Amino acid sequence: MESSARDLRSPGVEHWARIDEYLRARLRPDLYQRWFAPLRPLALEGEQLDIAAPTKFHRDFMDDNYRAWFEEFLPGLVGRKLGVRILVDERPAPGAMAAHPAEPSPTPVPGPAGGPVGEGRPNPRYTFDSFVVGQSNRFAFAAAQGVADKPGKQWNPLFLWGDSGLGKTHLLHAIANTILAQQPGQRVAIVSSEKYTNDFVDALSRNAMSDFRHKYRECGALLVDDVQFFAGRDKTAEEFFHTFNELHNRHVQIVLSSDRSPKELKGLEDRLITRFEWGMRIQIDVPEFETRAAILKKKAELERIDLPDTVAALLATHIQSNVRELEGALMRLAAFASLKREPISEPLARDVLSDVIPPPGYRPSIEKIQEAVAAQYGLTVAKLTSSSREQKVAQPRQVAMFLCRELAQETLQTIAEKFNKKDHTTVIAAVDRVRELMAGDARLRGEVALLTGRLAP
């Protein structure tokens, strides 16, 4: 990044040493070393401070969980309000933060070309041992272990699908790590669809397609995350089609993940979708309460965080739809507990995570539920509460009525009136219908869980 060449000792950015000192003094050493030590200043332009993180994952985690906190404490250190933007810069961090090196990286694992190659190397923290198994992901976990133990022998391809943040990426990396552990020196290609696309475009521009094909076709396994993003990228999808065919013909294991089932993928040719359906297709559902609580306890153990069972239950109750958000909330809570120099407790969790944990007795209004459901399904509130019997309107209306009963705990007649219905029996039928559908429809269960999580605050 050119901006990193700017004089970092100019007014404003010169305070970085003070920021670093503030962080080191208030955070647990392991928390500081893992997440904050690798950061460094890039530039200060006007009222915005740019901070560099070493990887996209690191950037996303800091942006989701700590950017707002930076903006909260910076005025007290630098004397004025600053907005913070966290960017990716993979170069080693010089200066103040570099004097306090981050936690040592695990031993590199061979990537597609036999050595460390950035995204082509599986994350060593994502293993089967660190994956929490529950009813929602049991089949996906067993299938992933099966293909890792006998790659290319069964379920080829393995296609995992489900909403973002439910563990698909973790399982892909666990498969890659297991294959590499069992077959030292093996070449495994594990990438996101975005990385595959970027590599393809770069190879085309450099007239280096032979290198590209060697990377992705001469390997012991190919694992691609988020294949839904191949939609609309016709040349990339065609190249992937031929890569898929060649690997499959040679019984090389292929593992794919997506946020939807193959039949729901739009913008891809039927011939490619058909191949996605050749092997085993498994959905990962939204985790149930017990699994969410177990995930929190496992994460706390790995990060050496003292997490009381009551707080784990509190977080697991109110953060339902996304494991990544669940773990992020735990890390944010741990950081604030460290800053305040007090143990993690339920009052602290309610204070720090007030944006996701509602106060005791809180109930969303019917109007708020209607707005959230309408936004989820791409409707207007007027359409949602109309007399339309179209399926694309009728089912969201039933979901909204169900949530009004479950979350707002309003009377049947009040709900009926808010939806322009004269008879409260319509509400009873809607609530019963949603309960019935949720018993066998994982997609609907996920949508209801997502809406419940959004409405909780």
Percent of the chain whose pLDDT exceeds 70: 89
pLDDT on residue 90: 57
Please tell me which residue, 442 or 252, carries the higher pLDDT value.
252
Mean local confidence (pLDDT), 77-85: 83
Q: What is the mean pLDDT of the chain?
A: 83
Task: Please write the tens of the pLDDT for every residue from 93-103.
Answer: 444 343 333 33
pLDDT on residue 335: 84
pLDDT on residue 454: 74
For the chain, the three-class secondary structure string (H helix, E strand, C coil) is: CHHHHCCCCCCCHHHHHHHHHHHHHHCCHHHHHHHHCCCEEEEEECCEEEEEECCHHHHHHHHHHCHHHHHHHHHHHHCCCCEEEEEECCCCCCHHHHCCCCCCCCCCCCCCCCCCCHHHCCCCCCCCCCCCCCCCCHHHHHHHHHHHHCCCCCCCCEEEECCCCCCHHHHHHHHHHHHHHHCCCCCEEEEEHHHHHHHHHHHHHCCCHHHHHHHHHCCCEEEEECHHHHCCCHHHHHHHHHHHHHHHHCCCEEEEEECCCHHHCCCCCHHHHHHHCCCEEEECCCCCHHHHHHHHHHHHHHCCCCCCHHHHHHHHHHCCCCHHHHHHHHHHHHHHHHHHCCCCCHHHHHHHCCCCCCCCCCCCCHHHHHHHHHHHCCCCHHHHCCCCCCHHHHHHHHHHHHHHHHHHCCCHHHHHHHCCCCCCHHHHHHHHHHHHHHHHCHHHHHHHHHHHHHHCC
pLDDT on residue 213: 93
Q: Does the pLDDT at position 444 exceed 50?
A: yes
pLDDT on residue 239: 94
pLDDT on residue 120: 62
pLDDT on residue 341: 83
218-232, 351-365, 436-450: which is most confident:
218-232
Banded pLDDT at 107 (limits 50, 70, 90)? very low
Task: Please write the tens of the pLDDT for every residue from 293-351.
Answer: 999 998 898 888 899 999 998 898 888 777 888 888 898 888 888 877 889 999 999 88
pLDDT on residue 441: 82
Banded pLDDT at 455 (limits 50, 70, 90)? confident
Q: Going from the N-terminus, what domains does the chain have, and what CATH number goes with each?
A: 2-98 (3.30.300.180), 118-283 (3.40.50.300), 289-352 (1.10.8.60), 366-455 (1.10.1750.10)
pTM of the model: 0.65
Q: What are the residue ranges of helices labelled H in 27-121?
A: 29-31, 56-65, 67-78, 95-98
Please tell me which residue, 253 or 7, carries the higher pLDDT value.
253
Task: Please write the tens of the pLDDT for every residue from 13-49.
Answer: 567 888 888 888 777 787 788 888 888 888 887 788 8
